Amino acid sequence: MDASPSNTTKRLTLLALPCVPLVQPGDDLAGLIRSALDASGETLQAGDVLVLAQKIVSKAQNRYIRLASVTPSDRAMELAEQVGKDPRLVELVLRESNSVLRYSRDVLIVEHKLGFVMANAGIDMSNVAQDGDGIVLLLPENPDAYCESLRQALASGIGGALGVIINDSHGRAWRNGTVGVAIGSAGIPALDDRRGDPDLFGRALMVTEVAHADEIAAAASLLMGQAAEGTPVVLVRGLHHAKRAGKASDLIRPRHKDLFR
């Protein structure tokens, strides 16, 4: 039997929270988000999802490294010559990675210790204050656990589920440009398994799994931007998803199913 097209209006609202200050090591992000919500005149509601830029989480965790403090290994020196990058940066990339997957001039693709395949292990200097010698910022430690702790800190009193995502910009192997992806997630199904659900014509979906957290992260990226926008927290309202929760690590394809390495 064919399914009837829905006549219900669906609405999704994204709000970049104002008045989020520059984050310092040790800052209480839950407190900063509460203040930003107050400044926007918003209160959290059941089903809301908060998307945080990776940079503010890394800064709060004090994931800064001064390049002057790094002594590159022989492997880093050799690889830096091949890719044309600072050997000290390459050393940090190697320390943060399980393995180097691809490299060429100006390109260094690795498997990060968290399992993500990405350029430079996510280490960069953009939107990082400098005071002379190079200062870089590493990815957050245990981003899924951080999302869960932040979710618990903010969810009390709203009478329902709250989702939290840490968003980072990743490139893709066969397309130009970066998109937002979830490197941390809590309170929502990061990977939404739709297998068995009927399509419009009643046929059961056979292989469809939706990278739900990645889609939310990409949408939030439209407001976060990549340069001087200064809007690192986005409130997403109006989503409908399964009640089960998941983690961003659910999105990592198991190695034995990876056809492209």
Structural domain for 117, as ranges:
64-139
**Total number of domains in the chain:** 2
Residues 135, 149, single domain; the answer is no
106 and 172 both lie in a single domain:
no
Q: Which of 87, 109, 139 delimits the end of a domain? A: 139
Confidence (pLDDT) at 196: 67
In a domain, 1, yes or no: no
Same domain (yes/no): 75, 146:
no
User: Of the residues 85, 116, 139, which one is the last residue of a structural domain?
Assistant: 139
Is residue 145 domain-shared with residue 219, that is, in the same domain? Answer: yes
Say whether both 194 and 232 belong to one domain. yes
The pLDDT tens digits for 149-195 are 999 999 987 877 899 999 999 998 889 999 999 999 999 999 877 77
89 is written with which tokens? 């940066």
pLDDT tens-digit map of 233-261: 999 999 887 667 789 999 998 888 888 87
Residues 108 and 225 in one domain: no
Residue 155 lies in a domain: yes
CATH number for position 162: 3.30.1330.100
Residues 224, 152 share a domain: yes
Residue 5 maps to a domain: no
Asked whether residue 160 falls in the same domain as residue 200, the answer is: yes
Residues 114 and 236 grouped into a single domain: no
Give a yes or no: residue 55 inside a domain.
yes
Per residue in 209-221, pLDDT (tens digit) is 888 999 999 999 9
pLDDT of residue 192: 79
Residue 178 lies in a domain: yes
Q: Based on the fold, state whether residues 237 and 120 are members of the same structural domain.
A: no
Domain boundary pick from 139, 156, 171: 139
Are 32 and 149 within one domain?
A: yes
Question: Does the structure show a pLDDT above 90 at 145?
Answer: yes
**Does some domain include residue 236?**
yes
Residue 29 pLDDT more than 70? yes
pLDDT (tens digit, 9 = 90+) per residue, 99-131?
999 999 999 999 999 999 999 999 988 777 777
pTM, two decimals, is 0.91
Same-domain check for residues 125 and 229: no
